[in-house]
Amino acid sequence: MTTSLRIGLAGLGTVGIGTYKILAGQADMLRDRCGRPLEVVAVSARDKSKDRGVDLSDVRWADSVHAMARDPDLDVVVEMIGGADGDAYDLVRDALDHGKHVVTANKALIATHGVELARRAEEKSLTLAYEAAVAGGIPIIKSLREGLVANKVSRIIGILNGTSNYILTTMEETKRPFEDVLSEAQALGYAEADPTFDIDGTDAAHKLSILTSIAFGAEVAFDAVRCEGIEQISPLDFQYAAEFGYRIKLLAIAEEGEGGLLQFVHPTFVPAETPMADIDGVYNAVVVEGDAVGRTVYEGRGAGEGPTASAIVADIADVARGQAQPVFLTPVAKLQPYRQGDFDARRGKFYLRLSVKDRPGVIAQISRILADRDVSIESILQKGTEADGAVVVVLMTHQSSEKAIADALAGIEALDDVMQPSCRIRVMEL
Amino acid sequence: MTTSLRIGLAGLGTVGIGTYKILAGQADMLRDRCGRPLEVVAVSARDKSKDRGVDLSDVRWADSVHAMARDPDLDVVVEMIGGADGDAYDLVRDALDHGKHVVTANKALIATHGVELARRAEEKSLTLAYEAAVAGGIPIIKSLREGLVANKVSRIIGILNGTSNYILTTMEETKRPFEDVLSEAQALGYAEADPTFDIDGTDAAHKLSILTSIAFGAEVAFDAVRCEGIEQISPLDFQYAAEFGYRIKLLAIAEEGEGGLLQFVHPTFVPAETPMADIDGVYNAVVVEGDAVGRTVYEGRGAGEGPTASAIVADIADVARGQAQPVFLTPVAKLQPYRQGDFDARRGKFYLRLSVKDRPGVIAQISRILADRDVSIESILQKGTEADGAVVVVLMTHQSSEKAIADALAGIEALDDVMQPSCRIRVMEL
């Protein structure tokens, strides 16, 4: 029989145990499919005594990530610890330096240190694989890196964070406010105790920056993502979105802009008749537009034990079958330095929700400010008066630049009769 | 510099020329991405003198597919001739026998001779790749064979034929009859002069049988697909579908049934709120349900120069990077013989459209026949009388077996007052 692929699993949380279960439970199937056995020979985790519901008595315990990285009996190390630095980073760096292939589920790590780690991997012709880092079980990294290899990509649009998508979907269905739905999501285990990165767009930005690097052949630039979260969305916005024919999704977008690349994460009005509008709950989706293939779409569960383990085992299988290749498709030595495009020049339609005092002349003042910035209005809605004497005014603009809208909003918010921070949501066009 | 991958292109129709354009036009990008140049060194086609709009003066002409298969200067041969037998088959078989990797876009060939050709390829550790054979530019073969390698697949549902999907979409939009829309599709180039295989489901069945083999580890069994085309669909059916909350799609389905596998191609009522319902025009989509990953969905253009060439070049790139692996995921020696499940036992809901004479007691007779077969009715619609004295009666059943419905329909069609062949459409449930 051909030699086993000897695997070390670092991190035995839900994903680590899920990965172990597949490797152990489907050993025969995977051996046939990969042409050699996939064998877990070592694991490491903080607490050795914890009952994880699986029998690990035949598996060696590595005392530390350093021990695992140096273990001469391992061909591949799977990092499932998490975090951009610390143990996760040390393990991946040291494992590569000691000639081991690495599979990781860690988007923060790849978004932060991906280029440096890729250089280490490529120097030694080692695999650094991270399918599980983006969009859970959807094979989007493989599709971009291999399936669409013939394409110049012009745009990527993703729903990349299941927690925020779950919250938006639930807010829309139940008409309940953000804080309420977030608490419930935490109770149900769909949001973490500290949900900051899911809610403020950071998690989606990590994932987007990885996809951008592969698609556009540029160095990963997580810091270059312009990021807005979903905290400011109110139940009212879903109501207005529906009236205009839209649903609200947190989109991650990478595209060619003026002078370079643009990366955005922001809540978006998505036309109800497009496939992205139908991605509900914890599902993720990615649209890739390529010059040869046209528009392709990939959907599936964005997180959880099964989907994440599915992606990790796929990466391990690639290692077993000897499929080494450049980490970001373009070899690191040929990746372009990231060139930042002009955010301000980007054009699109905008939805603006304002809360104003119900006095004569307010709408005239707002309209004047918008007109002065060449922002023209497609529709305006004003409905009833609130208990506190405020009136909600909702505007949909025609195509305008980011700069014009930002300037106009600053002017509008400075008006005496405009009562609280306004809400601006970008509108996706067909 | 690393050695070039030396490529022979057989067949210079739209897809052949599209493939040449990408290989020549994106040579630098592909060299970087694959780690070596991809070089077209030979081509073959029936007519050497034809102007194809590209400069082939630097490329050697092979006088026949036999010459190309034996050419010692080629590493990989790309078959874009088409047809299950003849030149296409001879080329692929001979090329493998002469130690060349093969890339093909030919679903009929793989559906008919795939197992035998895979055996030849695997005996010599050669690649036989066919991403372009199924769902155009969507990397569904790669996703199934590599991205979802950790999964036991329980079901595949596809919209795999762009021509029939275009016709259905247009019939729905324009309320025009099948023959009309087909003629227009032919005039526009969306349907071939002989559209039989697109219309009667054969093309979708070819593609489904390939996906089934990969997903379920069974030998390709194209003949085992129970196939119905879209010829019997009338504009009325779209109207009723909409009333019940459905759209009509030609689905290809592979699943575990009683006693073995079931493969179907048939027009289907698809719930309007599911993603598959939104796949319009020439787009294809595939749903894969795996035990670890859950439900994943893949969408994109199902045919055409760019998408097909995108898939072919991806396969060539895999060859360049040395990614050989079993043709159908499970090595041919371990593929299970195809085990046919029991079609008759399959259960589901059915839509029945009947044309009956407007006489007392007809509905009673029909209801009696259905009741005798234990088919219970969810809804029944009868609207107005046609000019010829016929009445259209539409029924939606509860869950029933294929056998019960077939028996009941035979009984109903034998009634004196039932006027013409009835229409039966299966209903997909959520």
Q: Do A273 and B278 touch (CB under 8 A)?
A: yes
- List the single range of A4-13, A211-220, B165-174, B185-194 with lowest mean pLDDT: B185-194
What pTM did the predictor assign?
A: 0.96
> Do A297 and A368 lie in a common domain?
no
CA-based nearest residue to B114, from B254, B220, B223, B225:
B220
Q: Do B199 and B186 touch, CB atoms closer than 8 A? A: no
Rounded CA-CA distance A10/A80 in Å is 6
Residues in B touching A30 (Cβ below 8 Å): 149-150
Q: Do B301 and A294 touch (CB under 8 A)?
A: yes
**Torsion angle of the four alpha carbons A366, A367, A372, A375, in this order, in degrees rounded to the nearest 10:** 110
Query: Is B383 assigned a catalytic role?
Result: no
User: Which tens digit of pLDDT belongs to each residue from A247-280?
Assistant: 999 999 999 999 999 999 999 999 998 889 999 9
Instruction: Point out which residues pair with B261 in neighbouring strands.
Output: B256, B340
> Do A277 and A146 lie in a common domain?
yes
Residues in B touching A311 (Cβ below 8 Å): 147, 293
| Backbone phi, psi, residue A392, to 5° | -90, 125
Nearest to B294 among A293, A307, A334 (CB): A307
Q: How many domains does chain A have?
A: 3
Choosing from B105, B133, B161, the residue where a domain stops is B133
Burial of residue A81 (number of CB atoms within 10 Å: 0-12, 13-18, 19+)? buried
Rounded CA-CA distance A33/B333 in Å is 12
Report helix angle A305-320 to A14-25, nearest 10.
Answer: 50
> Do A129 and A156 lie in a common domain?
no
Task: Output the pLDDT for position A420.
Answer: 75
| Residue B41, domain member (yes or no) | yes
**Looking at per-residue confidence, does A58 or A400 come out higher?**
A400
Q: Do B310 and A142 touch (CB under 8 A)?
A: no
B342's CB contacts (< 8 A; 6+ apart) are: B257, B258, B259, B260
| Residue B167, domain member (yes or no) | yes
Please report the ipTM that was assigned to this predicted complex. Answer: 0.95
Percent residues over pLDDT 90 in chain A: 88
Task: Output the pLDDT for position B419.
Answer: 85
Choosing from B248, B275, B301, the residue where a domain stops is B301
| Residue B185, domain member (yes or no) | yes
Q: Is the pLDDT of residue A105 over 80?
A: yes
Q: What is the rounded end-to-end Cα distance, in angstroms, of chain A?
A: 55
Please give, rounded to a whole number of angstroms, the shortest distance from the CA of B145 to a CA of chain A: 9
> Do B278 and B368 lie in a common domain?
no
CATH number at residue B61: 3.40.50.720
CB pairs under 8 A between A and B: 185
> Do B69 and B204 lie in a common domain?
no
Q: Which domain holds residue B392?
A: 345-427
CATH number at residue A394: 3.30.70.260
Question: What is the layout of strands, in order, in the sheet containing B128-129?
Answer: B60-61, B38-44, B5-10, B76-79, B101-104, B128-129
Q: Which residues of B388-411 are buried (b: 16+ CB within 10 A; e: fewer)?
A: eebbbbbbbbeebbbebbbbbbeb
| Residue A373, domain member (yes or no) | yes
Rounded CA-CA distance B217/B24 in Å is 37
Q: Do A34 and B149 touch, CB atoms closer than 8 A? A: yes
Task: Output the pLDDT for position B1.
Answer: 52
Q: What is the rounded end-to-end Cα distance, in angstroms, of chain B?
A: 55
Nearest to B293 among A33, A306, A322 (CB): A306
Rounded CA-CA distance B281/A402 in Å is 34
Task: Output the pLDDT for position B387.
Answer: 67
**Looking at per-residue confidence, does B46 or A38 come out higher?**
A38
| Residue B307, domain member (yes or no) | no
Amino acid type, B73? D
> Do B144 and B282 lie in a common domain?
yes
Amino acid type, A215? A
> Do B265 and B287 lie in a common domain?
yes
Q: Do B296 and A143 touch (CB under 8 A)?
A: no
Q: Is the pLDDT of residue A198 over 90?
A: yes
- The highest-confidence range among A54-58, A129-133, A354-358, by mean pLDDT, is A129-133
Choose the mutation target among A14, A151, A282 for the interface with B, i.e. most B CBs under 10 Å. Answer: A151
* Cα–Cα distances in angstroms (integers) from residue B389 to residues A24, B355, B359, B364, in the given order: 67, 10, 9, 18
Place of tokens 């919209």: B159
Which chain B residue shows the shortest CA-CA distance from A309?
B292
Choose the mutation target among A14, A130, A296, A334 for the interface with B, i.e. most B CBs under 10 Å. Answer: A296
Reported as half-sphere exposure (CB side, CA atoms, 13 A), residue B151 has a value of: 30
**A136-153 mean pLDDT:** 97
- By DSSP bridging, strand B153-159 and strand B283-290 are antiparallel
Rounded CA-CA distance A173/A226 in Å is 28
| Residue A326, domain member (yes or no) | no
Residues in A touching B278 (Cβ below 8 Å): 273, 275, 278
Which chain A residue shows the shortest CA-CA distance from B145?
A33
Choosing from B133, B165, B189, the residue where a domain stops is B133
> Do B357 and B242 lie in a common domain?
no
Residue of A100, A107, A207, A249 marked catalytic: A207
> Do B197 and B215 lie in a common domain?
yes
Nearest to A143 among B139, B309, B326 (CB): B139
Which chain B residue shows the shortest CA-CA distance from A297?
B299
Let me know the angle formed at the C-alpha of A62 by A122 and A49, rounded to the nearest 5 degrees: 140
Residues in B touching A322 (Cβ below 8 Å): 322-323
DSSP sequence for A91-159: HHHHHHHTT-EEEE--HHHHHHHHHHHHHHHHHTT--EE-GGGSSTTS-HHHIIIIITTT--EEEEEEE
> Do B164 and B89 lie in a common domain?
no
Residue of B50, B107, B175, B207 marked catalytic: B207
Cα B80 to the center of its chain, rounded Å: 17
Rounded CA-CA distance B79/B121 in Å is 15
Residues in B touching A321 (Cβ below 8 Å): 323, 325
How many other C-beta atoms are found inside a 10 Å radius of the C-beta of residue A62?
23
Which chain B residue shows the shortest CA-CA distance from A149?
B314
Task: Output the pLDDT for position A1.
Answer: 52
**A23-47 mean pLDDT:** 96
> Do A16 and A55 lie in a common domain?
yes
> Do A277 and A402 lie in a common domain?
no
* Cα–Cα distances in angstroms (integers) from residue B51 to residues B13, B14, B19, B48, B62, in the given order: 11, 12, 16, 9, 17
Residues in A touching B142 (Cβ below 8 Å): 139, 142-143, 146-147
Nearest to A150 among B32, B314, B330 (CB): B314
Rounded CA-CA distance A45/A54 in Å is 14
Amino acid type, B111? A
| Residue A260, domain member (yes or no) | yes
Residues in A touching B330 (Cβ below 8 Å): 32-33
Rounded CA-CA distance A315/B146 in Å is 9
- By DSSP bridging, strand B5-10 and strand A5-10 are unpaired
Nearest to A293 among B296, B306, B317 (CB): B306
Residues in chain B where the model's pLDDT stays below 50: none
Nearest to B146 among A142, A293, A306 (CB): A142
Q: Do B409 and B397 touch, CB atoms closer than 8 A? A: no
Instruction: Point out which residues pair with B200 in neighbouring strands.
Output: none
Q: Do B299 and B285 touch, CB atoms closer than 8 A? A: yes
CATH number at residue A152: 3.30.360.10
> Residue B324 in 3-state DSSP?
coil
Task: Output the pLDDT for position B273.
Answer: 85
Q: Do B353 and B420 touch, CB atoms closer than 8 A? A: no
User: Which tens digit of pLDDT belongs to each residue from A282-313?
Assistant: 999 999 999 999 999 999 999 899 999 999 99
Rounded CA-CA distance B373/B368 in Å is 9
Q: Do B297 and A299 touch (CB under 8 A)?
A: yes
| Residue A184, domain member (yes or no) | yes
Q: Do B294 and A300 touch (CB under 8 A)?
A: yes
Residues in B touching A327 (Cβ below 8 Å): none
Q: Do A292 and B278 touch (CB under 8 A)?
A: no
